[in-house]
Structure 1
Amino acid sequence: MSDIRPVFYVSDGTGITAETIGHSLLTQFSEGEFQTDRLPFVDTPDKAREAAVLIRAAGEQAGVRPIVVNSCVDGDLSAVLATSGALMLDVFAPFIAPLEQELGRKRQPRVGKAHGIVDFDQYHRRINAMNYALTHDDGMRVDYSDADVILIGVSRAGKTPTCVYLALHHGLRAANYPLTDDDLESDRLPPRLRQYRNKLFGLTIDPDRLHQIRQERRPNSRYSEMDTCKREVAAANVIFSTEHIPVLSTTHASIEEISSRVLETLGINREMY
């Protein structure tokens, strides 16, 4: 019997909802205990039967009952998946009955609505926000008059992926500005950022972690030296403190957590897509 339990995120759509919820659940238990796989677009009985065979085989190979986190809205497909013998965790089941009772009507199952193009205005806003994040990455453009948020910090502190996440999932025009050696020589904000003070959010990071990240990018360079990392992080933290810029350490924080903290701190209330 294997110590690793197979887990499948199964959906008749992209599988993003099932995977997101399933991952949140599994993190409550021991790391390394699960082998996960996503099975998206299981939207016909034939595909459901194929998925059930795959899931059953994985369980037999591991010698332990598989777990399925299921977001299929078609009950018939879920029934087919259940023939795999897996523990079935239906994402929607706990909520449908209470909602039907509260709203006084039955649900109308619709495949693919969670992550489809429901509102074209929202969709275009996300695309435009992504373009904004890419064109305002690493200080390439410094006209931030249209920005919703500007992330500042030393290189490799997590600014770019956070900006992309904010754009893709919240439709925010997120820019980022890397603090350079010239900027770090002063304990004040760079002049070009001062007029945007209310949009600024600082990202800091533990120097040891920064050293690891930079070593992967430019091994054994001055850029990745521990002394360089310590000096830059310390100087950036002085600026954040002196200028009263809200700041968060990204050392142990996920992009989702960083993004949520940014939105909360800056008072931005934007629906997640």
Structure 2
Amino acid sequence: MTDKRAVFFVSDSTAITAETLGHSLMTQFAGQSFDYRTLRFIDSEEKACEARDRINAAHREQGLRPIIFSTLVVSAIHEIVASSEGLFIDFMDSFLSPLEEELGSRRVASVGHTHGVVTQEHYRHRMDAVNFALQNDDGGSIRQYERADLILVGVSRSGKTPTSVFLAIHYGVFVANYPLVDEELEESRLPADLKPWRDKLFGLTIQPERLQQIRQERSPESRYAALHQCQYEVRQVEALFRHNRIEYLDVTSKSIEEIATYILKATSLDHRRL
């Protein structure tokens, strides 16, 4: 028995939609603990039965009714998972039924089309943005900064890379990122490579204790992961941001979706979403 309730994200595809919407809802219940589990590519009745069995097993093991967020579109598969011993929340029906009524048209159940790209041009743009983010990760290629819509700056392990890739995949934003190191931090000065692109810069910061935890996983017991080093870098990078009037965000308790949304709004890039 446990006081940690299982939350399942179930999808016939990647489960990104179920995870994004489901996490957004569950964050409203800060006083409770949840055990998140994702069941992707549930695209056959056999897989649906396996998913149902896993949900029922969680109910028996935990003694708490699981919560299920679903974006399943095929009726037979949907019904199997919905018959499990959990609270079944169907995102697709919640939104599609009112749309059917309003549009006077029935939905066409298409597995895996939740993230369909509107046009091939949009698809190519997003893939170009992803390639750009990977090529310009961690200060890797400053020669392409002219093409960047945004350049994320911050200390090592403050979330620059995942945020860059997320913005590229979901919004087609061309994002580079650049790590600020001790030499720049000591003098609160921007590296020469960044000065021409001052208007494209956005800073990420993080609480030192959380930064230490992240670095410990990568380099245990190193100077890089020492709390005093993390405290120093965070203190200095925030001073650098203020001195150079660079807007920045503390990402410590924020999801990547929240970080991306904030940045898009703050930089006026939200109107460019694809």
Q: TM-score, normalised by structure 1?
A: 0.87
TM-fit CA distance, 1:117: 5.7
Q: Which residue of 1 aligns with 2:155?
A: 154
Q: CA deviation digits over 1:98-153, x for unaligned, max 9?
A: 22232232222222111346533333322222221122122122121011110112
Note if 1:82 corresponds to 2:82.
yes
1:110 aligned onto 2:110: yes
Range moving further from structure 2, 82-91 or 150-159: 82-91
Q: Which deviates more from structure 2 when the two are superposed, residues 90-99 or residues 32-41?
A: 32-41
**Corresponding residue number in structure 2 for 1:230:** 231
For the residues of structure 2 that align with 1:50 and 1:127, how far apart are their CA atoms?
34
4+ residue runs over 4 A deviation? none
Question: 2: distance between equivalents of 1:130 and 1:20?
Answer: 20
- 1:85-234 superposed matches below 5 A: 85-116=85-116, 119-143=119-143, 144-234=145-235
Decide which moves more: 150-159 or 23-32: 23-32
Correspondence 1:1-40 to 2 at 5 A:
2-29=2-29, 33-40=33-40
- What is the identity, as a one-letter code, of the residue corresponding to 1:56? N
**1:183-235 per-position Cα deviation (integer Å, ceiling 9, x unaligned):** 22333322221211111001122233333333333334333333433333232
Pairwise CA distance, 1:88: 1.7
Instruction: Specify whether residues 223 and 103 from structure 1 end up closer, same or farther in structure 2 by C-alpha distance, changes over 3 A only.
Output: same
- Indicate the residue corresponding to 1:44 in structure 2: 44
Residues paired across the two proteins, number: 272
1:261 alignment counterpart: 262
- Report the secondary structure of 1:13's partner residue: coil
Q: Residues of 2 paired with 1:104 and 1:156: CA distance?
A: 50
Query: Is the counterpart of residue 54 in structure 1 residue 37 in structure 2?
Result: no
The amino acid of 1:75's aligned partner reads S
Counterpart residue type for residue 236 of structure 1: V
State the Cα distance separating 1:30 from its structure 2 match: 5.4
For residue 14 of structure 2, what is the amino acid of its counterpart? T
CA separation of 1:232/1:46 partners in 2, compared to 1, >3 Å: closer, same or farther?
A: closer
More deviation in 249-258 or 25-34? 25-34
Where do residues 63-82 of structure 1 align in structure 2 (5 Å cutoff)? Answer: 63-82=63-82
Name structure 1 gaps, 5 residues minimum. Answer: none
Letter in 2 for 1:174: V
* CA–CA distance in structure 1, aligned partners of residues 67 and 265 of structure 2: 35
Q: Which moved more, 1:231-240 or 1:191-200?
A: 231-240
Mapped partners of 1:80, 1:214: distance in 2:
43
- Deviation at 1:67? 2.8
Give the alignment's TM-score, normalised by structure 2. Answer: 0.86
Cα separation, 2, equivalents of 1:213 and 1:61: 31
How many Å separate the matches in 2 of 1:232 and 1:53? Answer: 48
CA distance in 2, matches of 1:6, 1:192: 48
SS in 1 for 2:84: coil
Compared CA separation, residues 148 and 29, structure 1 to 2 (3 A): same
Q: Tell me which moved more, 174-183 or 211-220.
A: 211-220
> In structure 2, which of residues 252, 263, 273 is the aligned counterpart of residue 271 of structure 1?
273
1:233-262 residue CA offsets vs partner (Å, 9 max, x unmatched): 232222211221111112222222222121
Going from structure 1 to structure 2, the CA distance change for 1:22 and 1:208 (only over 3 Å counts) comes to: closer
Letter aligned with residue 115 of structure 1:
H
Q: Give the % identical residues.
A: 47
Gaps of 5+ in 2: none
**How far apart, in 1, do the equivalents of 2:188 and 2:36 lie?**
47
